[in-house]
Amino acid sequence: MEFLRPELQDRLMREHFEFKKLMEEHRSADERLRNLQNKARLSAQESMEEVELKKQKLRAKERIYQIVQEHNGTEH
């Protein structure tokens, strides 16, 4: 994530439970999305899963951004 400095990410991964959980969710959804996108065709169920995974990634990224902003003491 472009807004997240590596040293801050490392620190938050160690010290902030919600941040760590969100990062893991984001990575997991991203990995599953890549698997789906590598398929030649998706079933209707897989297409719906793809949409839900994209939403999940976006929600996680938005909350991660909020946590980073809170940590930096800035408001967005």
- For the entire predicted model, the pTM comes to 0.84
Q: Does 76 fall in a domain?
A: no
Mean pLDDT computed over 39-54: 96
Tokens for 11? 């620190």
Q: Does 31 fall in a domain?
A: yes
Question: Each residue of 6-42: b (16+ CB within 10 Å) or e?
Answer: eeebeebeeebeebeebbebbeebeeebeeeeeeeee
Q: Does 3 fall in a domain?
A: no
Q: What is the pLDDT of residue 74?
A: 52
Into how many domains does the chain fold?
A: 1
Q: What is the pLDDT of residue 3?
A: 79
Q: Does 58 fall in a domain?
A: yes
Per residue in 9-34, pLDDT tens? Answer: 999 999 999 999 999 999 999 999 99
Q: Does 8 fall in a domain?
A: no
Q: Does 37 fall in a domain?
A: yes
Q: Examine the pLDDT at 62 and tell me if it is beyond 80.
A: yes
